[in-house]
Amino acid sequence: MTTAVERHPSREALAGALADRIAADLKAALDTRGRATLAVPGGTTPGPFLTALGARPLNWERVAVTLTDERWVPTSSDRSNQRLVGETLFRGPAAGAEFAPLYGATAEPAQSMDAVCASLERLVLPLDVVVCGMGEDLHAASLFPGADKLRAALAPDAPPALAMRAPGAPEPRVTLTAPVLRGAAHAYLLIVGAAKREALARAEAETDEETAPVRVLLTRTKPLTVFYAD
């Protein structure tokens, strides 16, 4: 399997180029349907991209945004993906977008899943665009190898989001599931550094989705582009 990889000369150039591409996808959806929907990742990689995207001029009031996954921590935590988008994407004109959070402030994520799924269905599904990150363990969103609900999340009839616990994740997670990631009109994988490029090569050579959950994206029938910089 060979995946289309766009290599950029620097992480700064990567952030700007990906922001331009996503803004163009969202504008096309806005021009066609009058609204657009987007899911973005958390973690350590996407900050510069999210800040760049949030500054792009778009009719953000007609865009609905969610996360690919969330860590079950208060939004004040520096591990909160919702906090990250608040401090990056939503600092610019994108502050006018509607946001469908995955965090529900209940003690356990499972207690919030009905409300989270209902809000995803109402506001953001189907997605026009999904941008995912990837871990060196080959997780994407919070589809981690060895996670307790991984098989259910990979199933074609999975609900849009599932609560998840995984050995590689220090806190409970909520993740968008395979049907949502596969169904998005446009998908992008944002990775930086040689270790992740090597991890992507491992995922391409793997055949088992439970060992390499990022394959949910690699095996999509709709477009996927990997944005990469050293």
Ligand X SMILES: O=C1O[C@H](COP(=O)(O)O)[C@@H](O)[C@H](O)[C@H]1O
Q: At 195, is the secondary structure helix, strand, or coil?
A: helix
Q: Kindly state whether residue 42 participates in binding ligand X, applying the rule CB under 6 A.
A: yes
Q: Given candidates 133, 160, 172, 179, which one binds ligand X under the rule CB under 6 A? A: 133
Measured from the CB atom, is 61 or 113 closer to ligand X?
113
Nearest to 196 by CA among 92, 75, 87, 43: 43
> Which span (21-29, 38-46, 93-101, 122-130) binds ligand X, by CB under 6 A?
38-46
CB of 101 to ligand X, least distance (A): 14
Q: At 143, is the secondary structure helix, strand, or coil?
A: strand
CB of 97 to ligand X, least distance (A): 18
Q: Given candidates 37, 66, 68, 80, which one binds ligand X under the rule CB under 6 A? A: 68
CB 175, CB 164: distance < 8 Å: yes
Number of residues lying near ligand X (CB under 6 A)? 13
What is the Cα–Cα distance from 21 to 24, expressed in whole angstroms? 5
What is the Cα–Cα distance from 2 to 57, expressed in whole angstroms? 34
- 10 Å CB burial of residue 204 (0-12, 13-18, 19+) is middle
What is the Cα–Cα distance from 152 to 134, expressed in whole angstroms? 20
What is the Cα–Cα distance from 185 to 59, expressed in whole angstroms? 19
CB of 34 to ligand X, least distance (A): 29
Q: Given candidates 104, 135, 145, 179, which one binds ligand X under the rule CB under 6 A? A: 135
Q: Given candidates 37, 66, 80, 81, which one binds ligand X under the rule CB under 6 A? A: 81
CB of 79 to ligand X, least distance (A): 8
Beta strands at 5-8 and 224-229: parallel, antiparallel or unpaired: parallel
CB of 33 to ligand X, least distance (A): 27
Q: Kindly state whether residue 80 participates in binding ligand X, applying the rule CB under 6 A.
A: no
* 121 to 21, 33, 66, 100, 118: CA distances (angstroms): 25, 17, 11, 10, 5
Measured from the CB atom, is 37 or 45 closer to ligand X?
45
Measured from the CB atom, is 135 or 145 closer to ligand X?
135
CB of 89 to ligand X, least distance (A): 13
Binding site for ligand X (CB under 6 A): 41-45, 68-69, 71, 81, 132-133, 135, 142
